[in-house]
């Protein structure tokens, strides 16, 4: 596993981390023991950054709970990123994020579910927020209390990131953005802004929610609650079909023996901004495959060829 400095935090983090949305039952039912094994396998294979959120899981918070249990005994050897902003929205009544104390309360709740005295990075989980001042004030309070080390935002919108960065007086240390071979929008301006301002980049969806595994086609029926919107007649069907078209383009530039999962992950971590890819996993075998991809980056020629997409 390769390690690199994460933005301006000064931390050395693995180029491949573990996204834990998948261990909370939203991507299919999972036993506690399986979730534990996934987290521990990730750690054993060199991953030292784990991404979660207060709202991940059925019920809400299950991903944090399972992650916190699995990291007992090794907490001081890893970095945890969590996010606040969506608690309760999926189940009928979202907690209002209107005061500093509400942000503080959400942060304290994350600490409890994670069974940790601190969170390394706490992110605003409202990707379209126009006025992030209450989050920033809440994050600053949590940092003063000693409960978080750094903070930032999860967003795909460059203007939202710029506003958050400016409102925080440049203290925005980390951003999480959707970035993969299937979705390269961030390459236009987003990543260069991060590089210029030394913002650590977490690349979520580096395998395009499983598309780069090349196991799905137009006839696939998704049963998980995350991707069932991709089914025929559902709201995300057009998006899914567009992703399949992009997948065909990727495959057209790769020889038949190329491992698309490894190539996709290596492509993301090979960008000049040095992102950390955070693929999820629903089995320990997936974790091992993902970790193996972190042993090297693409050559300049390989990256250039894929950039011709």
Can you tell me the distance from the alpha carbon of 50 to that of 41, in angstroms, rounded to the nearest whole number?
A: 12
Mean pLDDT rounded to a whole number for the chain = 96
Whether 232 is in a domain gets the answer no
- The answer, yes or no, to whether residue 2 has pLDDT greater than 90, is yes
Decide if pLDDT at 235 tops 70: yes
Q: Is the pLDDT of residue 254 over 80?
A: no
- The residue assigned the tokens 């902003």 is 85
**36 Cβ contact partners less than 8 Å away, ≥ 6 residues apart:** 66, 69, 70
What are the residues whose beta carbons fall under 8 Å from the beta carbon of 219, sequence distance 6 or more?
none
Contacts (Cβ under 8 Å, ≥6 apart) of 258: none
Report pLDDT digits (tens) over 16-58.
999 999 999 999 999 999 999 999 999 999 999 999 999 999 9
pLDDT over 90 percentage in the chain: 94
pLDDT of residue 305: 86
Position 237 in a domain = no
Helix or strand run (H / E) with residue 163: helix 158-167
For residue 257, the model assigns a pLDDT of: 64
Residue 208 lies in a domain: yes
Residue 309 scores a pLDDT above 90: no
Q: Give the residues across from 121 on adjacent strands.
A: 81, 150
Whether the CA torsion 61, 65, 71, 76 is positive or negative: it is: positive
Residue 256 confidence (pLDDT) above 70: no
In a domain, 231, yes or no: no
| Percentage, residues of the chain above pLDDT 70 | 99
CB–CB of 269/300 below 8 Å? no
Give me the count of residues in the chain.
309
Predicted confidence (pLDDT) per residue in 268-277, tens digit: 999 999 999 9
CATH number at residue 15: 3.20.20.100
Position 107 confidence tier, pLDDT thresholds 50, 70, 90:
very high
Neighbour-count burial of 179, counting CB atoms closer than 10 A to its CB (0-12 exposed, 13-18 middle, 19+ buried):
buried
| Domain-embedded: residue 263 | yes
Residue 36 lies in a domain: yes
Q: For the chain, how many structural domains are there in total?
A: 1
Q: Is the dihedral of CA 34, 37, 42, 45 positive or negative?
A: negative
In a domain, 293, yes or no: yes
Does any domain span residue 119? Answer: yes
Spatial contact of 172 and 143, defined as CB atoms under 8 Å apart: no
Domain that holds residue 281: 3-217+258-298
């Amino acid at each position: 596993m390769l390690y690199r400095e994460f933005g301006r935090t000064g931390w050395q983090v693995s180029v491949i981390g573990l996204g834990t949305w998948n261990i909370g039952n939203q991507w299919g039912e999972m036993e506690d023991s399986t979730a534990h094994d996934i987290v521990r396998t990730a750690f054993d294979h060199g991953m030292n950054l784990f991404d979660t959120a207060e709202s991940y899981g059925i019920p809400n918070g299950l991903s944090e709970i399972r992650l916190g249990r699995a990291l007992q005994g090794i907490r001081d050897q890893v970095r945890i990123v969590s996010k606040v902003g969506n608690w309760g929205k999926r189940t009928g009544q979202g907690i209002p994020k209107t005061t500093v104390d509400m942000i503080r309360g959400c942060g304290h709740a994350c600490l409890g579910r994670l069974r940790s005295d601190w969170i390394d990075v706490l992110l605003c989980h409202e990707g379209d927020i126009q006025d992030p001042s209450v989050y920033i004030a809440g994050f600053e309070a949590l940092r003063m209390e000693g409960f978080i080390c750094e903070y930032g935002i999860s967003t795909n919108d460059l203007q939202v990131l710029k506003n958050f960065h400016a409102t925080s007086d440049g203290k925005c240390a980390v951003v999480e953005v959707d970035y993969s071979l299937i979705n390269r929008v961030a390459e236009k301006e987003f990543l260069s802004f991060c590089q210029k301002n030394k913002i650590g980049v977490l690349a979520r969806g580096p395998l395009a929610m499983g598309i780069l595994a090349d196991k799905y086609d137009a006839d696939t029926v998704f049963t998980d609650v995350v991707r069932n919107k991709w089914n025929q007649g559902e709201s995300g069907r057009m998006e899914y079909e567009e992703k399949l078209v992009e997948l065909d383009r990727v495959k057209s530039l790769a020889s038949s023996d190329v491992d698309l999962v490894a190539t996709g992950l290596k492509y993301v971590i090979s960008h000049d901004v040095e992102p950390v890819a955070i693929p999820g996993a629903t089995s320990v075998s997936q974790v091992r495959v993902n970790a193996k991809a972190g042993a090297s980056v693409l050559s300049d020629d390989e990256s250039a060829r894929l950039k011709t997409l």
